[in-house]
Amino acid sequence: MARLCVVGMGYVGLVTALCFAKLGNDVIGMDKDTEKLKLLSEGSPTFYEPGLDELLRDGLDKSMLSFTNDLNWSIDQSDIIFICVGTPPGENGQPDLSQVEEVARSIAGNLNSYKLIVEKSTVPAGTAERVKQTIKLSGGEDVLFDVASNPEFLREGSAIADFLCPDRIVLGVDTRRARIMLKELYRDFDCPVLITDVATAELIKHASNAFLATKISFANLVADICEKVGANINLVVDGLGFDRRIGREFLNAGTGYGGSCFPKDVKAFAAMAGALGINNTLLKEVDRINEDRICSIVKKIEDALWICKNKRIALLGLAFKCNTDDIRESPGIKLVRELVRKGSIVACYDPKAMDNAKSELKSLGDGLSFAETPYIAVNEADALVLMTEWPEFVQLDYSRVKKLMRTPVIIDGRNMLQAIEIEKLGFWYSGIGCHRENRKS
Ligand code: NAD
């Protein structure tokens, strides 16, 4: 059993803390947000993620888990400190590493015996060296410590399963002691464990996210070509995906990638390459294709309705993907802003992300309303736009939807619906990467 402190109780930190507690470690969850800590200590998760409630209650009941804002005490009680704070986008695509720096300085002031400090936040290669230097300069010079990198690959929506059954574990270490401690911590995991130097581990995370984002942008590029030549993207990506060298995952065309990772990590990786004098055109193009996706959805709405102004649009899906309430960089949120800017009257709905969306979009005023059900959202709508692949959107009674709408137009940003079936009901249906006229013939 290890004594762990996890700094930052966001999506990654909380899942990390709960999973390590479930595996029998003694875990302190540390954050500076006292509201968050109060809720967590009462057993209430601060965001939606399947399975989180049970794991939280279990950890608290078994006294494997506690929460505090007292970093000094947390460090004193722990052997390994995980840094899981945010690394949001900063200027010119560079990540803003001020949260990591703040934690490094606080740790320096509280070191009393050997500690292993582990970066789990996604950071550019070279950050661990910075953390080390900051700790030394801020007073941690006399105490032994190591800084390691253990990037996290979990996906929101399946975070617990991803954490507990990862494809691989990457341990970036530069001392024997750090390697032994981390290998011991992960001893029960049944997956490849890749042990590298610290900068390599940091780079693996950025390169992984940039590669996955590239697959998505590639699929979207091919989808645009499909629309021009009358091909069907769903079949094209199946055809690609059966090739084991390519694989089918992350090849879905649609509204583009969102969330707190891919958009910022692609930009950060491009900025890092650019700063090193390396041509970053590939990464910039991946980002540009993604940014264009919202325009292409608006164009589809205009293809059907001609003018967006004063049209009533029902928008289903505000979370950046299903099974989460996270709206950071969500295509649905971006589309709402663009449609309201164009003068549309938008009614939106999401099964889990309504509260986050309400607070994010409160400045948009009268052009926007939040419906309690999808059926209320589509009432009198001129078009329905599907932006997140929530299963409940596939299961809607589309005959009822059609009766409720003013004009029966569906723009399916995730290619979730069976086009032929939907068209049989009398809808104008437009998916991604499949030319309407061609599909009919
Ligand atoms: P988040 O914004 O949800 O959480 C960050 C937390 O850190 C917040 O609770 C905040 O209050 C806390 N915090 C900030 N400064 C602090 C300080 N000085 N002391 C204590 N707590 C502090 O972020 P997240 O989505 O969990 O992401 C964290 C990191 O993990 C990022 O680098 C991200 O890129 C990476 N990552 C995220 C995901 C994901 O799916 N969200 C997956 C893999 C990696």
Task: Determine the atom of ligand 1 nearest the C-alpha atom of 103.
Answer: 18
Known active-site residue 191: no
Tokens 């998916």, located at residue:
431
Q: Give, for all 441 residues of the chain, the pLDDT tens digit.
A: 899 999 999 999 999 999 999 999 999 999 999 999 999 999 999 999 999 999 999 999 999 999 999 999 999 999 999 999 999 999 889 999 999 999 999 999 888 889 999 999 999 999 999 999 999 998 766 778 999 999 999 999 999 999 999 999 999 999 999 999 999 999 999 999 999 999 999 999 999 999 999 999 999 999 999 999 999 999 999 999 999 999 999 999 999 999 999 999 999 999 999 999 999 999 999 999 999 999 999 999 999 999 999 999 999 999 999 999 999 999 999 999 999 999 999 999 999 999 999 999 998 988 999 999 999 999 999 999 999 999 999 999 999 999 999 999 999 999 999 999 999 999 999 999 986 655 544
Q: How much is the pLDDT for 437?
A: 56
- CB-hemisphere CA count at 13 Å for 82? 31
**pLDDT at res. 438:** 52
Please tell me the predicted confidence (pLDDT) of residue 142: 74
356 lines ligand 1 (CB under 6 A): no
Greatest alpha-carbon pair distance for the chain in Å reads: 76
DSSP string, 109-165: TT--S-EEEEE-S---TTHHHHHHHHHIIIIITTS-EEEEE------TTSHHHHHHS
- pLDDT at position 379 is 98
Residue nearest to atom 4 of ligand 1 (CA): 10
Does residue 157 come out as left (phi exceeding 0), alpha (psi in the -120 to 50 range) or beta?
left
Q: Which of 261, 322, 348, 434 is catalytic?
A: 261
103 lines ligand 1 (CB under 6 A): yes
Backbone Cα Rg of the chain: 24
Strands across the sheet containing 383-386: 368-370, 345-349, 312-316, 383-386, 409-412, 428-430
Question: Would the CB of 209 count as within 6 Å of ligand 1?
Answer: no
262 and 213 in contact (C-beta within 8 Å)? Answer: yes
The whole-angstrom separation of Cα 304 and Cα 300 is 7
Q: Is the domain defined by 206-290 classed in CATH 3.40.50.1980? A: no
Domain ranges across the chain: 3-196, 206-290, 293-430
Of residues 433, 386, 438, 435, the one with CA closest to residue 409: 386
CATH of range 293-430; options 3.40.50.720, 3.50.50.60, 3.40.140.10, 3.40.1000.10: 3.40.50.720
- Tokens representing 95? 């990540």
pLDDT at site 385? 98
Q: What's the 10 CA to ligand 1 centre distance in angstroms?
A: 5
Is there a shared CATH topology between the 3-196 domain and the 293-430 domain?
A: yes
Q: What is the CATH number of domain 3-196?
A: 3.40.50.720
Pocket test for ligand 1, best of 6, 7, 9, 11 (most atoms within 8 A of CB): 11
* Closest C-alpha among 430, 120, 190, 397 to residue 298: 430
| Index of the ligand 1 atom closest to the CA of residue 87 | 32
Say if CB 387 and CB 413 are below 8 A apart. Answer: yes
C-beta 154 within 6 A of ligand 1: yes
Q: At what angle do helices 281-291 and 198-229 cross, to 10 degrees?
A: 50
